[in-house]
Chains A and B, each alone.
Chain A
Amino acid sequence: MAPAAPKSGDVIFASVDRVNAELFTLTYGAIVRQLITDLEEVEEVNKQLDQMGYNIGVRLVDEFLAKSSVSRCVDFRETADVIAKVGFKMFLGVTASVTNWDADGTTCSLILEDNPLVDFVELPDTCQGLHYCNILSGVVRGALEMVSMKTEVTWLRDMLRGDDVFELQVKLLKQVPEEYPYKDDE
């Protein structure tokens, strides 16, 4: 029997290994800064961050499933809830809220009021097009793809650009049916 899905990630968060928040923030800052120096184009940096996040996400989802022992989600609403309440808490230490559902239940927004990645950060005028936290959208996209959901994740609001919260829009494009790589009779 599968254990019931935890309501929040607090319990798991208390048991996982943690790293100093400032070290984490400064490391991420250094990565972004280096990407800007190397790639020069802000658009390229956004793409690269998203790709890095994707690569993290496809690996991270396994750890998430193993440690959180959540059961299978029945629909996309529950998936979004688990990401916001358990996933974000487990890996980022903050909880997101889920709002702005559309009628079909395929698009929603994850609202982050607090984001440890952006402590100290202030975007200079030359980098106004930069999605500083684009790595997060990549992580969500990568993780969902590994559990057979094709999604599109975009930033709608960004505190670094003067908005009051971070808003991450997650749009379910299609659910890929699980395919077995072999046939039964082989």
Chain B
Amino acid sequence: MIVCVAVVGHQNNPLYIQSFTKADDSLKLHHIVHCSLDVVDERVNNPKKSGLIINETFLGLLNPTENYKVYGYLTNTKVKFILVTTDLEVRDADARVFFGRFHTAYVNAVSNPFHIPGKKITSRKFAERVSTIVKSFGLSSSS
């Protein structure tokens, strides 16, 4: 199950963060997202060591903790998408598909003329789309 998704701006400022758990552990999830940003920076700054292909937006698994797996995605405008999931068996291909759809939703949200680039995403439509994407993945992985 996907428990948290986040959009982080190029100065590591949070643009959108949403957790999908009933329990009151959003602070913990925020902390996990925060920690993973360092991993993103490290991968991007040392592309050779981490074996990252240049021009590849999908960063792969960032840091597996006991209960969570964290995946990252970096757009060409240096906006980071972070995905936190409790599924232990996640295929990279699934994560790629997720980020592909998430990216489309993000692009549509920032195309709103009333959105100010670099500011938080307040769009309700975006929130709805994200939760739809998250739900569709929750179903496919549990079945």
B83-115 near A? 1/0 per residue, CB < 8 Å? 000000000000000000000000011011110
Using Cβ atoms and an 8 Å threshold, which residues of chain A touch B75? none
- Residue in chain A with minimal CB distance to B122: A124
Q: Is the CB of A122 within 8 A of B111?
A: no
Q: Which of A22, A26, A127 contacts B114 (CB 8 A)?
A: A127
B5-42 near A? 1/0 per residue, CB < 8 Å? 00000000000000000000000000000000000000
Asked whether B136 is an interface residue with its Cβ less than 8 Å from the other chain, the reply is no
Using Cβ atoms and an 8 Å threshold, which residues of chain A touch B123? 122
- Residue in chain A with minimal CB distance to B107: A120
A127–B114 Cα gap in the complex (Å)? 10
Using Cβ atoms and an 8 Å threshold, which residues of chain B touch A32? 113
Q: Is the CB of B113 within 8 A of A26?
A: yes
Asked whether B49 is an interface residue with its Cβ less than 8 Å from the other chain, the reply is no
Q: Which of B108, B109, B113, B125 contacts A33 (CB 8 A)?
A: B113
- Residue in chain B with minimal CB distance to A25: B111
**Distance from A167 Cβ to chain B, minimum over Cβ atoms (Å):** 21
How extensive is the interface on chain A, given as a class?
A: 10 to 19
Using Cβ atoms and an 8 Å threshold, which residues of chain A touch B114? 33, 121-124, 127
- Residue in chain A with minimal CB distance to B123: A122
Asked whether B124 is an interface residue with its Cβ less than 8 Å from the other chain, the reply is yes
| Residues 1-60 of A contacting B (Cβ, < 8 Å) | 22, 25-26, 29-30, 32-33
Using Cβ atoms and an 8 Å threshold, which residues of chain B touch A26? 111, 113
A81–B131 Cα gap in the complex (Å)? 42
- Residue in chain B with minimal CB distance to A29: B113
**Distance from A180 Cβ to chain B, minimum over Cβ atoms (Å):** 46
A22–B123 Cα gap in the complex (Å)? 19
A122–B122 Cα gap in the complex (Å)? 10
A120–B111 Cα gap in the complex (Å)? 6
A89-122 near B? 1/0 per residue, CB < 8 Å? 0000000000000000000000000000001111
A123–B125 Cα gap in the complex (Å)? 11
Using Cβ atoms and an 8 Å threshold, which residues of chain A touch B111? 22, 25-26, 29, 119-120
Using Cβ atoms and an 8 Å threshold, which residues of chain B touch A124? 114, 122
- Residue in chain B with minimal CB distance to A28: B113
A33–B111 Cα gap in the complex (Å)? 12
B62-83 near A? 1/0 per residue, CB < 8 Å? 0000000000000000000000
A122–B109 Cα gap in the complex (Å)? 9
Chain A residues proximal to chain B, CB less than 8 Å: 22, 25-26, 29-30, 32-33, 119-124, 127
Chain B residues proximal to chain A, CB less than 8 Å: 108-109, 111-114, 122-125
Given A120-B112, A122-B114, 11 new contacts (CB under 8 A): A26-B111, A26-B113, A29-B111, A29-B112, A33-B114, A119-B111, A120-B113, A121-B113, A121-B114, A122-B123, A127-B114
Query: Can you list the 3 inter-chain pairs with the closest CB atoms, starting with the nearest?
Result: A29-B113, A120-B111, A33-B113
